């Protein structure tokens, strides 16, 4: 199954079944792998042992227990995931961080730069890691958000969306506001994370599609040297009450979906996901 920005594909990503187990994974170039992390699980001794002194200190400074658990679990699972591509020990991986906090793997002293790009997002009890193997120079962003119905979505849209997106949102019936807002928000965040600028590039300086049943795509961007044709965008299947999206530069890619190595649910809970919000 391949995904690109062509209208004929519809919301293909949102109709997939639940992820596969990690033991079914083998690295392969030319695919986008999406890994789901269970952030509700207690922090294990294995999680703690994988993090560096700096990562541990940063996590331990977090006062809110659920946020601290997010930090430990997300970082430990990220290490386990990337190690599977690189045939390396998870605890031996070294990261650098860009000006906006986007992590990247430091080159291995013997093997050189890692032959992949990746991105991490987490919200509530769900984490998401995207990986493109064999494409270190591609740009990739993923975003997952826990939906919170009842917020003033129209007001938030007017503050953060582009004018043309606000017009689209205003025309929607109020019953569709929650789903439409999170479709738009996750798609916009995925693009911002892919280009690595954070909010230094205004969220109103580009537009994405987000109408019900409308394929996910970048419609316009004011970013110098960029063009919508460079980008692919999809909605990502995720647990009920969440929305997620991925955005990457380059050609259409096959999509694979896995549970992170220490995140698979019990067998009885491995049914298909409900429709996206």
In the chain, the domains with their CATH numbers are: 2-265 (3.90.470.20)
pLDDT recorded at residue 4? 38
Angle between helix 153-160 and helix 163-171 axes, rounded to 10 deg: 160
pLDDT at 127: 98
Mean pLDDT by 10-residue block, N- to C-terminus, for the chain (277 residues)?
Answer: 32 59 95 97 97 95 96 97 96 86 86 93 97 93 94 94 97 94 97 88 96 94 96 95 96 96 79 67
Q: Give the pLDDT confidence score for residue 2 in this predicted structure.
A: 37
pLDDT score at 97: 81
Q: pLDDT at position 271, please? A: 63
**What Å distances lie between residue 267 and 15, 81, 90, 127, 139, CA to CA?**
21, 21, 26, 20, 35
| pTM for this model (two decimals) | 0.91
Please list, in sequence order, all residues whose beta carbon lies within 8 angstroms of the beta carbon of residue 11, skipping any fewer than 6 positions away. Answer: 213, 214, 215, 216, 235, 276
- Residue 10: the pLDDT is 30
């Amino acid at each position: 199954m391949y995904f690109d920005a062509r209208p004929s594909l519809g919301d293909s990503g949102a109709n997939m079944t639940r992820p596969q187990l990690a033991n079914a994974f083998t690295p392969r170039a030319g695919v986008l792998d999406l890994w789901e992390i269970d952030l509700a699980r207690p922090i294990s001794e294995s999680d703690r042992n994988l993090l560096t002194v700096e990562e541990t200190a940063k996590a331990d400074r977090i006062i809110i227990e659920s946020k601290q658990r997010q930090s430990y679990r997300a970082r430990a699972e990220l290490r386990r995931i990337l190690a599977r591509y690189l045939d390396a020990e998870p605890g031996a991986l070294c990261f650098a961080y860009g000006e906006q906090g986007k992590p990247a793997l430091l080159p291995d002293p013997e093997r050189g730069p890692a032959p992949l790009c990746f991105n991490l997002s987490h919200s509530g009890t769900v984490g998401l890691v995207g990986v493109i193997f064999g494409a270190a120079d591609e740009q990739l962003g993923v975003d997952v958000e826990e939906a919170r119905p009842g917020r003033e979505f129209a007001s938030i849209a007017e503050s953060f969306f582009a004018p043309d997106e606000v017009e689209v949102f205003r025309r929607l019936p109020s019953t569709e506001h929650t789903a439409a807002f999170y479709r738009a928000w996750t798609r916009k965040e995925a693009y911002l994370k892919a280009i690595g600028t954070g909010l230094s590039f205004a969220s109103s300086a580009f537009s994405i599609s987000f109408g019900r049943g409308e394929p996910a795509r970048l419609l316009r961007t004011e970013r110098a040297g960029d063009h919508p044709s460079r980008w692919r965008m999809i909605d990502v299947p995720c647990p009920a009450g969440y929305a997620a999206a991925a955005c990457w530069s380059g050609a259409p890619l096959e999509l694979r979906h896995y549970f992170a190595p220490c995140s698979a649910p019990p067998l009885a809970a491995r049914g298909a996901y409900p429709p996206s919000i």
